[in-house]
Chains A and B, each alone.
Chain A
Amino acid sequence: MAREMTGAQMVVQALKDQGVDVVFGYPGGAVLPIYDEIFQQNDIRHILVRHEQAAVHMAEGYARSTGKVGVVIVTSGPGATNAVTGLTDALMDSIPVLVLSGQVPTFMIGSDGFQEADTVGITRPCTKENWLVRDTDQLAPTIHEAFHVATTGRPGPVLIDIPKDVQFATGLYQEREAHRSSYSRPTAPDPDAIEALVDLIEQAERPVFYTGGGIINSGPEASAALRDLVQATNFPVTSSLLGLGAYPASDRHWLGMLGMHGLYEANMAMHDCDLMINIGARFDDRITGRIDAFSPGSRKVHVDIDPSSINKVIHVDIGIIADAGLALKAIMAAWTRRGRRTKAEAVVAWWRQIDEWRAVNCLAYRQSTTTIKPQYALQRLEALTKDRDRYITTEVGQHQMWAAQFLHFEEPNRLMTSGGLGTMGYGFPSSIGVQIAHPDALVINIAGEASFLMNMQELGTVSQFHLPVKQFILNNERLGMVRQWQELLHGSRYSQSWSEALPDFVMLAETFGLKGIRCSDPAELDDAIMEMLDHPGGVVFDCLVERHENCFPMIPSGKPHNEMLLGDASTEGAIKADGAVMV
């Protein structure tokens, strides 16, 4: 039974039917009819942002921490173009986000009308799919399809461009239940491939699980299945940045993050293993280092829901196109049916080798009694917050890597970070989205001062919605990660990597009605962190840290895993010019 309503009413109705309870947005001429409908209802909460880029990052944080689709509303022209960075970020990290953009009326499209932009053209390369809706009758089916596409197969961002006349016109609303989509992607693993993998599991002497964001995309069941399989096989497990939390960091099978700034034991295990089982990770260049020297002696298996991820970067022996959770359960079932065999003694010997690598203690750093070391700040933050219901977001830079090294994640969906695009300015708005989704949880954004400045206008949003979100800024007064590369690769010529003319972050917080805390003395750090945690509202914590600390371990671009730099002493002349062309 179709109901007649306006396009704007359909937008709100379809969002409700899809279970949306919050949208992040910013109004403008081309979306006024939709805003008028938002005004006249109470089911969907609208979070008014201060910049559309931030709205998309909020939706990403919301989506990543809940597993639901994050929804954004922006106006035409500049509203839509401001959303592009967020869309690209979500595409790279496989985050389901829906952006609804206003557009000039259909009869004006192509006339360079006021605030007209070719939004579907601009966003085509940064969305999984996008649509321009020219007919009000098509609006509801398109919104239902958008939710389906965003969450089916490999998740990703989608956009619907809605001309203003389509919002005003009336049409027939299509119910969610009536929607039929032709888009589907296979998710069940090929049983033969699973058997072949079990053969390898039974024979492996030096196995390792390399897991990634795909496990988190797959949902909590996939993380649970991973735990079962790792514990039953006694195989070691490492993960990409985006997969952190899928396996509990407190378990002894956990090797820590791998990759450019990953742990020594994780990277050495990847390099020397004889069986690599990649589940839901995409062999990113932060992981592989020099391709032709990547784990030279191993057989490689790759489980991924997206066929294009398989053999894109690294050729594998077995490619399994499947959902991570279904594949993990199928592996467990087949392996169990065949008697749960492994080369247990060899694996124990492998663990002895791994323990030797662990003994290197690669995260060691020189402690100071006068300045706060960024690593120390995070160790203290970890100690003081680990037992709480805690969500972490990060900005991009050294602090992000230290967060990945020094904070421990026990559950999936607890770390929100911009991995693929590396978007400075992601973490603050993302933390707002997380806090909206989890009002009673402790949400902390680990920030660098430069990244924080990129979306600091959102202090207004924090203030308006009384969000208790904490900004923990590791302030080194430098574009730290850039400075580190300049030190190691460009003869310490620090071109433009000073954060000049910084604001007083305490006063900045206060002008928005928030609490500001500054700390520069390691002896006072614990008390200051407790003050932040005890404060019921939003806090900006300006933690003044060692300015020229470098983030180690580090695999220089273009180097194999077993040539890691472990500390300042090992960096002399280690990076050759041919590596410098890599990013």
Chain B
Amino acid sequence: MSALNIKQGSTSHSAYNLRASYTETSERHTLAVIVVNAPGVLARVIGLFAGRGYNIESLTVAEIDHAGHRSRITIVTSGTPQVIEQIKAQLGRIVAVHEVHDLTVEGRAVERELGLFKVEGTGEQRIESLRLAEIFRARVVDSTLNSFIYEMTGTPDKLDAFAELMRPLGLSNIARTGVAALLRGPGAASK
């Protein structure tokens, strides 16, 4: 039977028990959605999340195959297992969607995000921010006498932690790209 038929936790045989065996706790999943690169497709994907009340924690999109007109949308979402199943099935219904991959269940994925952090300050604070940036392997990509812009790539958690530390040191602006993710190891190109 295909993976879609075998539901997580569907171990017993009545609606009551099946419901109970689905956990009600929210999980975070990273989805890779391969779509036709055409106008309106991103709007349809976003509209689906808005219209059906699903969460989007982060969303990135870019063309990955110019000749084949394909784009990859990486969506980080959260919901109960049942909601996550619905999100994947609903994405799969969209005519312009070629593939939907749940990187959280299909294997271990590398997740990376790029962030730009503007930190303003002088004196001791400025030096302290520079020292911390070094520990986080953030690069200085712009500097003036009273500001830096740091560039950092890492997991979303790492970017969060960096921002938290920079806040008291004069963090004034953040720009983040959202998550890009790929499954580890060899495998289908689209994953």
Contact = CB atoms under 8 A, between A and B. Distances in A.
Given A125-B51, A296-B16, A314-B15, A308 B2 contact: no
Given A190-B2, A319-B7, A308 B15 contact: no
Contacts of B16: 292, 296
A321 B4 contact: yes
A315 B15 contact: yes
B135 to A, nearest CB: 46
Interface in A299-313: 299-300, 306-308, 310-312
A121 B40 CA distance: 8
Contacts of A124: 40, 43-44, 47
Given A292-B15, A307-B89, A308-B92, A318 B44 contact: no
A292 B90 CA distance: 23
B157 to A, nearest CB: 31
B93 interface: yes
A208 B109 CA distance: 44
Interface string B69-96: 0000000000000100110011011111
A318 B5 contact: yes
Nearest to B91: A308
Contacts of A192: 1
A149 interface: yes
Contact of A307 (B1, B92, B95): B92
B18 interface: yes
A32 interface: no
Which of B14, B15, B47 gathers the greatest number of chain A CB atoms within 10 Å?
Answer: B15
Given A307-B92, A308-B86, A321-B2, A132 B15 contact: no
Contact of A299 (B5, B13, B93): B13
Interface in B115-163: none
Contacts of B44: 124
A308 B5 contact: no
B54 interface: no
A107 interface: no
B19 interface: yes
B186 interface: no
Interface string A123-141: 0110011111000000000
Contacts of A131: 40
A294 B43 CA distance: 36
Contacts of A149: 95
A394 B10 CA distance: 40
A481 B172 CA distance: 59
A154 B22 CA distance: 27
B92 A294 contact: no
A317 B92 CA distance: 22
Nearest to B98: A182
Interface string A258-283: 00000000000000000000000000
B187 interface: no
A120 B15 CA distance: 40
B39 interface: yes
Nearest to A312: B86
Interface of A: 120-121, 124-125, 128-132, 149, 154, 182-183, 190, 192-193, 196, 291-292, 294-300, 306-308, 310-312, 314-321
Given A129-B94, A292-B15, A315-B10, 16 more contacts: A120-B40, A124-B40, A128-B95, A132-B39, A132-B40, A182-B98, A193-B1, A295-B15, A296-B14, A296-B15, A296-B16, A306-B89, A307-B93, A308-B86, A315-B15, A320-B5
Closest 9 CB pairs of A and B: A308-B89, A315-B18, A129-B95, A307-B89, A299-B13, A319-B5, A308-B90, A192-B1, A307-B4
30 contacts: A120-B40, A124-B44, A125-B47, A125-B51, A128-B95, A182-B36, A190-B1, A190-B2, A192-B1, A291-B15, A297-B14, A298-B14, A298-B15, A299-B14, A300-B15, A306-B93, A307-B89, A308-B86, A308-B90, A308-B92, A310-B89, A311-B86, A315-B19, A315-B82, A317-B10, A317-B18, A318-B5, A319-B7, A320-B5, A321-B5
